[in-house]
Amino acid sequence: MISVAVVDDDAERAARLSSMISSFAVSSPDLDIVNAPKTDSANRGDTTNFDLLNFHVTVFATIAALGVFLAHHAVDIAFFNIDAADSDDGRSVRGSDSRMLVSDATRLFSTESDTQIMLVSRNAGRSARDSVPLPHLYVPGRMHVLARPVVIEELRLALFRAVWQLRQTRERMIRIDSGNVMHMVAPSEIRYAESHRRVLHVYADEMIETYSTIAEFMALLPSYFLQCHKSYLVNMNYVRLFNGSSIVLTTGEEIPVSQRRRSYAKARLRGYIRGLDSGRK
């Protein structure tokens, strides 16, 4: 799941954008932005849909409301309407008011945050980008400008760029909280993870126990991770053997593969790991 925030004081406009975003999903590992299935049953029996990540959208009427939310939740992509409120004669307010609006929105995100920022404006382009007074947001690829009214294919492209950038930044260390201890772990060091209800065991140099789900943890990881079972995911760089019912890692650890994900796991491993395909002439 990819967490998205939409900040706009126009409820109807925010609802339209939220609906457009929710109509998409991310196909991992290629990161294509595809049309989301209408219902969960649409995925039944279709192994190509196991890696679909949905966009979970939350709408905020004010920047302050988003700030309260961020105190306890992470946001992957944040959409901001950066056109100031319309004046009496119907023209959008420009200048210092617009700069203040953008400043209030973007100062919620520090240099350490990898949140992708979408500026939605009638005045899209360099002028919208130049209205941002905070230099740390000029990190290449972090900020995106989207013209309003929003066109569905332009939104698809903007989401692709944002998700691609998120995946690149998530090759960095990730934080895993366990009690009062914060563990900083490189994704490449993680061999596999297993879930028991809401308790997640992450196996790297040591076993780290945290409260999370496989789906939530998977969203933090690069595309070389494979979910081979509803309760397990593995780093494909550690796979030594796949026999259909299980995966054996280079460490000798054996990970179960569910029957439902067997064909999918085989296809992912074939696509990721180079090899010779044997076949009869």
Q: pLDDT-derived band of residue 74, with 50, 70 and 90 as boundaries? A: confident
User: Tens digits of per-residue pLDDT, 82-127?
Assistant: 875 543 333 333 444 556 666 666 677 765 567 898 989 887 654 4
Q: Are residues 208 and 89 in the same domain?
A: no
From the number of C-beta atoms within 10 Å of its C-beta (0-12, 13-18, 19+), residue 152 rates as exposed
Identify whether 279 is part of a domain.
Answer: no
| Closest to 137 in 3D by CA, of 78, 52, 58 | 78
Identify whether 148 is part of a domain.
Answer: yes
CB 270, CB 262: distance < 8 Å: no
Rounded (10°) angle between helices 11-22 and 152-169: 70
Q: Are residues 9 and 133 in the same domain?
A: yes
Total domain count for the chain? Answer: 2
- Among 115, 148, 169, give the residue marking a domain's end: 169
User: Tens digits of per-residue pLDDT, 209-219?
Assistant: 999 999 889 87
Q: Which domain holds residue 46?
A: 2-169
Identify whether 18 is part of a domain.
Answer: yes
What pLDDT does 224 receive? Answer: 86
Q: Are residues 26 and 101 in the same domain?
A: yes
User: Tens digits of per-residue pLDDT, 222-277?
Assistant: 878 999 999 999 999 999 999 999 999 999 999 999 999 999 899 889 878 877 66
Q: Are residues 132 and 32 in the same domain?
A: yes
DSSP class of residue 281? -
Q: Are residues 154 and 250 in the same domain?
A: no
Q: Are residues 150 and 185 in the same domain?
A: no
CB 155, CB 33: distance < 8 Å: no
Identify whether 277 is part of a domain.
Answer: no
Tokens describing residue 13: 């406009």
- Among 169, 184, 204, give the residue marking a domain's end: 169
User: Tens digits of per-residue pLDDT, 11-54?
Assistant: 999 999 999 999 998 876 667 888 887 654 444 434 445 567 78
Between 63 and 73, whose confidence is greater? 63
- Among 139, 169, 199, give the residue marking a domain's end: 169
What pLDDT does 281 receive? Answer: 42
Q: Are residues 82 and 158 in the same domain?
A: yes
